[in-house]
């Protein structure tokens, strides 16, 4: 089994640091990093602000990858949520709502077939409130992830690596942490690490890096996994 390149990226519906929506710029970032599996947050489908595009489908076309999309918010035909892109077959997928009094969120799962091995790939975007994040982790994220083997969880968790929320997650999952001092947010002058790739299973995270990009207010994180 070849190495597996995994990316997490909050694309902010393609709104870059110049306050322009440019999905081709996001596509260029994805192409340059060449990931096999991509978890994306803040993805639009049918919103006027982003040209009524199906952003997941458009980026999957650029990358020649399979894709799935799960809305966290729906307003008529306009939707906003998370997406997964995969170079490998997606044999099953499902989504789990993360309910909120403020902004609903979603946990998206894809079962990926990689050379005869199946893995559970997740992406999510946790809330701005610590209480809400802990509730989502305890009530949804950990119970769902606990059902599967060979797990990779990606996303914007909106909390630092030393937070109680991350301690809860890393008691179960390993953190494919980039080198000290590589931050993900805000991308113009990053001072925080709030975007993560966590995992379990028979592989090692041999390299993990944060890349500077002006296509969103978050920087993407890439991890290379080697099978053991």
Please state the rounded mean pLDDT for residues 89-109: 95
* Distance in angstroms (rounded) separating the CA atoms of residues 57 and 67: 7
DSSP class of residue 56 equals H
End-to-end CA distance of the chain: 10
For 14-31, what is each residue's pLDDT tens digit?
999 999 999 999 999 999
* Distance in angstroms (rounded) separating the CA atoms of residues 148 and 143: 10
Question: Which domains are seen in the chain, by residue range?
Answer: 4-227 (3.60.10.10)
Q: Residues 84, 125: contact at Cβ < 8 Å?
A: no
Cα 221 to the center of its chain, rounded Å: 9
* Residue 49's pLDDT band (cuts 50, 70, 90): very high
* Residue 1's pLDDT band (cuts 50, 70, 90): low
For 145-192, what is each residue's pLDDT tens digit?
986 679 999 999 999 999 999 999 999 999 998 988 899 999 999 999
Please give the pLDDT value at position 95: 98
Copy the structure tokens of residue 70: 């799960």
72-87 burial: b if 16+ Cβ within 10 Å, else e: beeeeebbbbbbbbbb
The percent of residues above 70 in pLDDT, for the chain, comes to 99
């Amino acid at each position: 089994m070849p190495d597996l390149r995994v990316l997490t990226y909050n694309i902010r519906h393609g709104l870059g640091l110049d306050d322009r929506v440019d999905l081709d710029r996001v596509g260029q970032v994805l192409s340059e990093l060449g990931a096999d599996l991509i978890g994306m947050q803040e993805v639009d489908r049918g919103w006027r602000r982003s040209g009524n595009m199906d952003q997941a489908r458009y980026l999957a076309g650029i990358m020649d990858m399979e894709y799935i999309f799960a809305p966290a918010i729906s307003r008529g035909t306009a939707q906003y949520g998370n997406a997964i892109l995969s170079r490998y077959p997606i044999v099953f997928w499902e989504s789990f709502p993360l309910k909120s009094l403020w902004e609903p969120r979603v946990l998206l799962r894809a079962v990926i077939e990689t050379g005869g091995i199946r893995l559970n790939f997740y992406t999510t975007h946790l809330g701005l409130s610590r209480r809400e994040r802990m509730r989502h982790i305890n009530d949804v994220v950990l119970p769902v992830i606990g059902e599967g083997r060979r797990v990779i969880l990606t996303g914007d968790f909106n909390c630092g690596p030393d937070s109680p929320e991350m301690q809860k997650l890393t008691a179960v999952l390993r953190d494919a942490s980039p080198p000290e001092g590589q931050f993900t947010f805000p991308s113009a002058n990053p001072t925080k690490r709030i975007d993560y790739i966590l995992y379990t299973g028979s592989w090692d995270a041999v390299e993990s890096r944060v890349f500077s990009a002006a296509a969103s207010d978050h920087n993407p994180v890439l991890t290379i996994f080697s099978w053991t």
